[in-house]
Structure 1
Amino acid sequence: MTRVSAPTQSPVLVAQDLSAVSAISMGVAVPLLTAFGQQLAILPTSLLSTQTEGFGQPASADLTTWLPATFAHWQAQQIQTHGVLTGYLGRNQIVDQLTEFIQRQNEQLVVIDPVMGDQGALYPDLPADYPDHMRQLVHAASVIVPNLTEAEFLTGHQVTATDTLQSLLPILDALQVQLQPDGHAIITGITLADQQGCVWLDDHHHVQFIGRPILAGHFFGSGDVFAALLTGFLLHREPLDRAIALATRGTFWALLDTNNAPRERRYGIVLSSVMAAIANYQQVGQFTPRLN
């Protein structure tokens, strides 16, 4: 059965950083969402010569004056968006500009990856009050996909143990109340037993977990792949639980390809298998890594 996408006469807004080198952030979101058949409105929040890890200090361009001019042009041309995916934004001013824009739109789906920290700390280039600004953006979200550190910054809750699903219920509850009505919080990067994956609340207020085998080492851009895949499946009106399962599966295929590729990981994620799987999904409704 061929899947029917959400209406595509208006584009999906993709707002995150764009690196000239490395398949991360916008460099993975654009091809993945395009493969899903989505028309896109691409909004780079910063332009970088490379990603920020593994290549020294990248050259960058400040786009804080370009964003409001772009929004004004879109408004003048009556360009409406029907969905949003955000990733790394990097500046309070950009977060605020994007929050204002989204609040003026009649968005069907707003997926926010509040990229701002890991391992208990904010990323070093972000101001201390960045979580306050991100919290305002999150209020407009249908779905958010923070890691545990970002969830703690958004809520003020400290999680001392993640060895049981029940231990994550309070922070999931605290996230849920910040979102749009019927919104969903998905915390990524959770390790249980020998798997790593994500947790969320189902319709019965039970904590659910889905994971994948843990691969050694760090993969630059894995969260960006998950967020883009999740957005693509939700735009195809997949139920949340199934969209999370499919996005987790596709992310693992991409990590396997990257793990086996003869290139340095700092160049980002290899998308060949997951792109083939999306093509198969578009054609026959089956998300498998190779066309048959």
Structure 2
Amino acid sequence: MTSSKQILLINDICGYGKVALSAMIPVLTNMGYHIYNLPTALVSNTLEYGKFRIQDTTDYMRDSIKVWEELGFRFDAISTGLITSTAQADLLIDFCGREAQKGVLIFVDPIMADNGSLYNGMSMETVANMKRLLAVAHCCVPNYTEAVYLTDSEYKDDLTREEVFALVDRLRDLGSRSVVITSCHVEGSEAVAGYSAEQDEYFLLPYVSVPVFLPGTGDIFLSILMGRLLQGMYLKAAVSDAMISVKKMVIRNKDNDDKFKGIRIEACLDVLQ
């Protein structure tokens, strides 16, 4: 399948490991989209190795956006991921806000936390910046920990349906029209919860996880979700498809010798067909 739709991915690029742009570009290219990228940082390797080098690219981003606007480049959708500073957040809030007014769909993945705590190098300043970015989002896709930080909510090991949908609504109050929260634990089951503005529909999709950690699965999930939405799927169906596809990829890679590299995405693209 081919598409004339153009997607801009704004996220970090990892030199050693299939995460962020290195994972997203192959997925969406395989789905037939024209893909462009704006790196927020150059990262030497996935952070799980414990030692890494991160190069901020804010000046490059600012200059690139200026050149693109002078050249009249246009996109149908934009996704944002890792943000390294308030200056970078200001730049993206302005850029994405102006693009949203032109009808461009804005997807925000507020990468900053998991398992109840912030990632190394993240701070409450990061949280505040992500909150501001949600104001221009067509759809935000935090994990449960990120949703808690964004809404100043209490972290709980298990939620009721009412509690998880109340959390969804608090994210909507920050400005995001649609919401998808991954890695929830609801009434004894792992689940993805969400709300579709287009269908005015809340949904809760339980799943059974594969007991292995592979970095980059969230990036792949967002890529598939975004791709399916742009193909015309409703949000709930797109989330379900992304969940099934990512699980198949995780199963294929669960016995990898070096799991810190993430999923060998190029060898798994047949899952998308």
Question: What TM-score comes out, normalization by structure 2 length?
Answer: 0.90
Change (3 A) 1:205 1:72: closer
* CA deviation after TM superposition for structure 1 residue 159, in Å: 4.4
Q: Matches of 1:213 and 1:270 in 2, distance apart?
A: 22
> Which residue is 1:287 aligned to?
none
Q: Do the aligned residues in 2 keep the contact of 1:135 with 1:154 (CA within 8 Å)?
A: yes
Listed as ranges, the gaps of 5+ residues in structure 2 are none
Q: Matches of 1:103 and 1:42 in 2, distance apart?
A: 18
Q: Do the aligned residues in 2 keep the contact of 1:190 with 1:199 (CA within 8 Å)?
A: yes
Question: Please, which of 255, 258, 261 is the counterpart of residue 253 of structure 2?
Answer: 258
> Which residue is 1:38 aligned to?
33
* CA deviation after TM superposition for structure 1 residue 115, in Å: 0.7
2:74 maps to 1:84? no
2:64 maps to 1:70? yes
* Greater fraction helix: 2
Alignment of 1:16-55 (within 5 A): 16-54=11-49
2:123 maps to 1:123? no
SS in 2 for 1:47: strand
Change (3 A) 1:148 1:112: same
Alignment of 1:179-194 (within 5 A): 179-180=175-176, 183-192=177-186
Question: What TM-score comes out, normalization by structure 1 length?
Answer: 0.85
Question: Please, which of 189, 212, 219 is the counterpart of residue 214 of structure 2?
Answer: 219
Bigger shift: residues 240-249 or 217-226: 217-226
Opposite residue 152 of structure 1, the aligned amino acid is V
* CA deviation after TM superposition for structure 1 residue 124, in Å: 2.6
Q: Matches of 2:269 and 2:217 in 1, distance apart?
A: 15
Q: Do the aligned residues in 2 keep the contact of 1:121 with 1:149 (CA within 8 Å)?
A: yes
> Which residue is 2:96 aligned to?
102
Bigger shift: residues 122-131 or 110-119: 122-131
Change (3 A) 1:177 1:86: same
Equivalenced residue count is 270
Q: Matches of 1:97 and 1:149 in 2, distance apart?
A: 25
Opposite residue 121 of structure 1, the aligned amino acid is S
Opposite residue 126 of structure 2, the aligned amino acid is Y
What is the RMSD of the two structures over their aligned residues, measured on CA atoms?
2.2
Listed as ranges, the gaps of 5+ residues in structure 1 are 281-292
Q: Matches of 2:175 and 2:70 in 1, distance apart?
A: 29
Change (3 A) 1:81 1:259: same
* CA deviation after TM superposition for structure 1 residue 23, in Å: 0.6
2:173 maps to 1:177? yes
Identity of aligned residues (%): 22
